[in-house]
Amino acid sequence: MKPLKDINILELSTMITASFSAMMLAEQGARVTKVEPIELGDPMRFYGSNKGGISALFANCNRGKRSIRLDIKSEQGKQIIEELIPEIDIVLCNYRPGVMDKLGLGSERLRTLNPRLIFVAVSGFGTKGPDRNKPAYDQIIQTQVGFPAVQGHGTDSPKMVRTLVSDKSTAYTVCQAATAALFLRERTGEGQHIDISMMDAALFFLFPDGFMHETLLDEDAEHLAPLSDKAFDLTSTRNGNVATAAGTEAQLVGLLASVDQLHLYADERFNSPEKIRENYAEFRELVIAEFAHADTDEVMKKLNENDVPAAKYHDYHDVLNHPQYIANATIDEFEHPAMGNMRRVKSPAQFHGERLPPASHSPAHGEHTRKVLADMGKTDAEIDELIAQGVAKEQES
Q: What is the pLDDT of residues 291-312, one digit of tens each?
A: 999 999 999 999 999 999 999 9
In the predicted model, what is the mean pLDDT of the chain?
A: 93
- Domains of the chain, CATH where assigned: 8-206+326-393 (3.40.50.10540), 235-312 (3.30.1540.10)
Q: Say what the pTM is.
A: 0.93
* Nearest-angstrom CA–CA distance, 146 and 47: 26
Which residues share a beta bridge with 341? 335
Angle at 52 between CA 372 and CA 345, to 5 degrees: 80
Sequence-distant (≥ 6) Cβ neighbours of residue 310 within 8 angstroms: 242, 243, 244, 245, 300, 303, 304
Q: How much is the pLDDT for 111?
A: 98
Percent of the chain scoring above 90 in pLDDT: 83
State the DSSP H helix or E strand holding residue 45, giving kind and residue range, or none if neither: none
Band of the pLDDT at 154, cuts 50, 70, 90?
A: low
Average pLDDT value for residue range 7-25: 97
Between 165-188 and 198-210, two packed helices, what is the crossing angle to 10 degrees? 110
State the DSSP H helix or E strand holding residue 310, giving kind and residue range, or none if neither: strand 310-312
Q: How much is the pLDDT for 114?
A: 98
The DSSP result for 331-353, as a single string, is EEEEEETTTEEEEEEPPS-EETT
Band of the pLDDT at 272, cuts 50, 70, 90?
A: confident
